[in-house]
Amino acid sequence: MTNLQAQIGSFMGDIWHRTQRTKSGQSSDDLMETQLRRCLTTLDIILLGIGHMVGSGAYVITSSVAKNIAGPAIVLSYIISGLAAFLCALCYAEFSSRYPKCGSAYSYTYIALGEVWAFIVGWNMILENVIGIAAVSRACSAYLDSTIGGEIKNYTNQWYTPVLGEDITHNMDLMAGLIALGFAIFLTCGMRVTTYINNAFSVINIIAIVIIITVGGYFSDWSNWTNVPGGFMPFGWKGVFAGSASCFYAYVGFDSIATSGEEAKDPQRSIPFATFVSMICATISYVGVSIVMTLMVPYNQIADESGLPDALGIHGAVWAKFAVIIGACCGMATVLIGTIYSLSRVVYSISSDGLLFPWMSYINTKTQIPLQAMFFFTGFGMLLAIFIDITTLVEMMSIGTLIAYLVVSASIIVVRYKKDVDDITKIVSPTSKPFDDEDDDGDAEHRVQDSSNGNRNNEDDEHEKLLHEHETKYDSIRSAFGDIINSKVILECLDQYFRESLVPVCVSSIVVLSALFCLTCKLFNKDIDDKLIAFLLSMIGTFLIIIVWVIHMQEQNTEKLRYKVPFVPILPVVSIFFNVSLIVNLNWLTWMRFILWMILEFLMVVDKKSEEYLEDVGSLSPTTKSKRYDEIKLLFDKAANLTEEKKQLAQQAYNIVDKQIQQLDIELAKFGTSEPVETDDIEFQESKETIQLSNEKLTNRKKKTKTNKNEKSESKVLVKNNLETNKKNKNKNSVNDSDSKESIDKNKKKILITRPELCLNMEIDPRMTLSGHHSLVYKECEPSFAIIDWELNTSLKWMQEYWHYTGYVSIIYMLVIYSIQQFMRTRDPFKLRKCLTLWNIGLALFSGIGSITMCREMYDALYLNSLDHSVCVASTNTKAQYWMWLFALSKIFELGDTVFIVLRKQKLIFLHWFHHILALVYTWYSYGQNISLGRWFVTMNLVVHTLMYGYYALRALQIYIPRQIAMLVTSLQIIQMIFGFYVSSYAFHAKLTGAYCDIPMKTATFGFFVYVIFFLLFANLFINNYIRSMSKAWKLSSSSSSKSLKSSLPTPAEHDKMGKQL
């Protein structure tokens, strides 16, 4: 039984290993070698792409999609699918420069992701082209039949209906099958002859498109977009996106461009250029034809298979009708040529790699064309063309196309961040010993002895004994892993594995999160809370942004190509999102057909890999086979033993922690159940009694009345008076009534907050809040300060009218900074250490005092009320509003940070001055509208600035601060941006759903983008200054164990410099 398990394990493991193989890179000379004839120029490839795309989109899809799926909004469907296709085309263009072979997406995936994904893509490309042959053949047959009034279909139906029955012959189109066969025979003439004919047909096709747009524009009627059932979008946005998924078929022509890699004279130049030109021409043609078709005839009256000629015939343009039929037939002829051409080349490439039958890669010596592969799969296309209608074919083909484009977009990210490793075996030296059990045990025992000797003098102290026991156990665990963790081999292996696995894992996460995002969007208008859906979408979107930024921070390879996709990974990720969104909108029957096709593919993969494995094992001798099985068994036994050791170590660590928790619980229980301690501390006793007395008086006053102004102010002053009594250790006697009145008179001048009579006459929540005001919020209140003549409404109105002054301040700020930089160019830098210290201390104190007030405000709004209240109801706490006003003004003073940087001739980064300007503009703009999110923004910023400026002040005083503090400050900045992004999204969703939220829509949108921008900038700073430096330290420790990890981290001076750049 053990031997059988070993055989099965070896069998499955070997098959899995084979499916993960990737195609290694080749030299430029090897890439140009091929069995096919290189005869295609750039113009030939451009016309091949235009002919393949324009015919399929304008003559096959537009009619059926406009009538049944999208209506006149098919125009938007073409634009959306065109944008997604263009992003995919960018990825194809780079791969064609990197690997100019005829396998197209299959070959590109083989290089990036491995054999199993390549075969999935290649198998779907076969499906795509087979269905393309059937769909175009059937459309071409319908166009020819429409020229003679349907006589061809009537004649054929009369011929085979009596034999096969009406149920079978209802959708049969024998003419379509004959057309597919005829073009397959035509392509046997060779690529040179095929190119000449394709170029001629493509020119006629372009002329036909011009005629359609010109004549159709003359007969256009705008009422066909407005005075039809449902209007311009009768099927809604759902129909638009569903139509986009089906319209995606129109753009598969650039896939045929990529398959010409082994027949182009200069593929690395011609294919990218031809891709862009053909995509632009195709998009203009699709949008133009869809506009004039839906304007000539109401969408519900368009013929499914011959919409354009019938529409022109309705308006009496008979000459244009026949001209369009001729051009359409030529256009669909080019599509058939391109589809059969692409199919044969993809099958040839897959078969050459050993993933399909070997005879499919046979090249005819005379024509240099894979004839057997072409005729085999074209035969399947003929059968589909005869028996299946166009709509079913188009939807089934779209899913295969979308998956191929999805994988190619993901592959471009993986390839761009893939490290070129010449020899991975260099990581592990054949003479190295990463694990040495005897040394580990000896070292652990030695450490335990040292630890016990160090604490032998404290045996009488039970607490020290317990601490000693914990330390020895921790040391034993640490010693068990110490040599492993410090091993150069393990570090390099982990580094290599992490570097190679991070980007693929992130890309996979992006695909999954994109699917979840699109599926969640489809839940709107269901019986589910919209707020829950919005929360899920915001969280998924946040994770997507974080993952994309993690990928962006990785180091790209520096391989020089003639063309590279710009803005990687942003554009490929957008392409992935487009493709996923189109996939999830396809019909469920399409998914069922696709799953059946994938099951067939899976069976072929297992059969093929099993055959390879059995051939390899069959060539081994019996002794070798037995030895191989024994080695596998030994490896499994070692893995099992290692797992048991890890479990034991984990259990020991758990027991230690559990004992500490139990000991702490015992001590807390003793403290809680002990008798009251008799003490001579009169302060403690007096404070306790005074607090009890004040609470009793306050309770009695609340029971009498809630709205009496004198009692409320008296209770407030009494609480304050009692707190002062606790601090100053007054007598045990309680305060009498006369003392209370005197204290009220004395403290009236100290009370800053006064409420108008309107607020006091309203019913108020009896709960007192930490900030001194009641928890309910009233917009009618107009609080003001008594000490200074400050009114909220006046300040709000002033900032609302003059917030644009921040633009003038920003311009002056930039001019001043530039002038100082020019002034300091030829001068030595100023030290300014004392001034910088005072500056940072002042800002730290200001932020700290403001943080206390705003944290109390956040407690009142968030804890005593709700998250919705804190986000969507503006504050009326006068003290909090005053600090928000001061906070807005402080943004002008914070511009002085830049002055210190340029006077000290430090590097001024983009983040610094851009952050100051954008924060100034947004703060003044939003404060002038008294938005509800003000409490969130001000509280978070003041708390972070308190720590940040405090850290800078200590650094300016040359006081050593641990390096982790700088990382903490930057991390808090990033966390602040994430919270700001979330609450802005929350408010934005509330406005969209019509819920009450005290913030204008444009302000919510402005804040959302501000926090997204700040998050990206600060995350970039954190990764560049910490993550990459730690990565360098990791590599340094792996190359030399004598160097310390901390030595490669930024020095305190570098931290100070980096911090001031913030």
382 and 295, same domain (yes or no)? yes
According to the model, what pLDDT value does residue 740 have?
42
Q: Does residue 336 register a pLDDT over 70? A: yes
Q: How confident is the model at residue 131 (pLDDT cuts 50, 70, 90)?
A: confident
According to the model, what pLDDT value does residue 31 have?
61
Torsion sign over Cα 123, 126, 130, 131: positive
According to the model, what pLDDT value does residue 666 have?
62
199 and 123, same domain (yes or no)? yes
339 and 239, same domain (yes or no)? yes
Per-residue pLDDT tens over the stretch 83-100: 888 888 889 888 888 888
Q: How confident is the model at residue 574 (pLDDT cuts 50, 70, 90)?
A: very high
- Identify the residue with better confidence: 692 or 582: 582
- Identify the residue with better confidence: 434 or 657: 657
- Identify the residue with better confidence: 449 or 39: 39
Q: How far is CA 502 from CA 164, 548, 614, 1030, in A?
A: 58, 12, 34, 16
According to the model, what pLDDT value does residue 708 have?
45
354 and 255, same domain (yes or no)? yes
Per-residue pLDDT tens over the stretch 918-938: 888 888 888 777 777 888 888
196 and 222, same domain (yes or no)? yes
Q: Does residue 417 register a pLDDT over 70? A: yes
CA distance 988 to 982: 10
Of 246, 260, 268, 398, which is closest to residue 338 (Cα–Cα)? 260
**3-state secondary structure string across 703-739:** HHCCCCHHHHHHHHHHHHHHHHHHHHCCCCCCCCHHH
CA distance 600 to 610: 15
According to the model, what pLDDT value does residue 410 have?
92
Per-residue pLDDT tens over the stretch 289-322: 999 999 999 988 887 766 777 888 888 777 777 7
Q: Is residue 166 part of a domain?
A: yes
Q: Is residue 14 part of a domain?
A: no
Of 207, 208, 216, 210, which is closest to residue 312 (Cα–Cα)? 216
Per-residue pLDDT tens over the stretch 12-38: 555 555 556 676 555 555 566 777 777
Mean pLDDT, rounded, for 774-780: 34
What is the chain's mean pLDDT, rounded?
71
- Identify the residue with better confidence: 788 or 1056: 1056
Q: How confident is the model at residue 638 (pLDDT cuts 50, 70, 90)?
A: low
Q: Does residue 635 register a pLDDT over 80? A: no
Instruction: Return all residues near 561 (Cβ < 8 A) that are at least 6 apart.
Output: 94, 97, 98, 268
Q: Is residue 795 part of a domain?
A: no
Least confidently predicted of 194-203, 412-421, 504-513, 803-812: 412-421
Read off the CATH number of the domain in which 385 is found.
1.20.1740.10
- Identify the residue with better confidence: 308 or 712: 308
Q: Does residue 787 register a pLDDT over 60? A: no
529 and 593, same domain (yes or no)? no
757 and 809, same domain (yes or no)? no
Domain that holds residue 696: 688-784
Of 156, 204, 220, 234, which is closest to residue 59 (Cα–Cα)? 204
Q: How confident is the model at residue 74 (pLDDT cuts 50, 70, 90)?
A: very high
Per-residue pLDDT tens over the stretch 864-899: 777 888 888 888 777 888 888 888 888 888 888 888
According to the model, what pLDDT value does residue 20 have?
61
Q: Is residue 447 part of a domain?
A: no
Q: How confident is the model at residue 1041 (pLDDT cuts 50, 70, 90)?
A: very low
Q: How confident is the model at residue 642 (pLDDT cuts 50, 70, 90)?
A: low
User: What pTM does this model have?
Assistant: 0.52
Q: Is residue 651 part of a domain?
A: no
Q: How confident is the model at residue 419 (pLDDT cuts 50, 70, 90)?
A: low
Least confidently predicted of 380-389, 536-545, 773-782, 999-1008: 773-782
Q: Is residue 234 part of a domain?
A: yes
Mean pLDDT, rounded, for 73-83: 89
Q: Where is the domain boundary, 519, 546, 573?
A: 546
Q: Does residue 510 register a pLDDT over 90? A: yes
Per-residue pLDDT tens over the stretch 204-251: 888 888 888 888 888 888 888 988 888 888 988 888 888 887 787 677
According to the model, what pLDDT value does residue 498 have?
58
Q: Where is the domain boundary, 603, 633, 668?
A: 603
- Identify the residue with better confidence: 124 or 620: 124
Per-residue pLDDT tens over the stretch 263-281: 888 888 888 888 889 998 9
Q: How confident is the model at residue 615 (pLDDT cuts 50, 70, 90)?
A: low
The tally of domains found in the chain comes to 4
- Highest mean pLDDT: which range of 325-329, 608-612, 674-678: 325-329
731 and 825, same domain (yes or no)? no
According to the model, what pLDDT value does residue 365 have?
79
165 and 231, same domain (yes or no)? yes
Q: Where is the domain boundary, 784, 816, 849?
A: 784
322 and 414, same domain (yes or no)? yes
Within the chain, what is the greatest distance between any pair of CA atoms?
Answer: 119
- Highest mean pLDDT: which range of 477-481, 611-615, 711-715, 922-926: 922-926
DSSP string, 530-572: HHHHHHHHHHHHHHHHHHHHHHHTSPPP----S---SSTTHHH
Q: Does residue 339 register a pLDDT over 70? A: yes
Is there a contact between 69 and 246 (Cβ–Cβ < 8 Å)? yes
In three-state secondary structure terms, 790 is: coil
- Highest mean pLDDT: which range of 366-370, 388-392, 943-947, 1018-1022: 943-947
Beta-bridge partner residues of 40: 264
Q: Is residue 456 part of a domain?
A: no
According to the model, what pLDDT value does residue 496 have?
55
- Identify the residue with better confidence: 513 or 927: 513
Percent of the chain topping pLDDT 70: 63
389 and 498, same domain (yes or no)? no
Per-residue pLDDT tens over the stretch 341-380: 888 888 888 888 888 878 888 888 777 788 888 888 888 8
Q: How confident is the model at residue 1011 (pLDDT cuts 50, 70, 90)?
A: confident
Cα dihedral 249→254→259→261 (10° resolution): -170
692 and 756, same domain (yes or no)? yes
For the record, the structure tokens of 210 come out as: 């011009």
Q: Is residue 402 part of a domain?
A: yes
Q: Does residue 663 register a pLDDT over 70? A: no
Per-residue pLDDT tens over the stretch 964-1002: 677 777 778 778 878 887 888 788 777 777 777 878 877
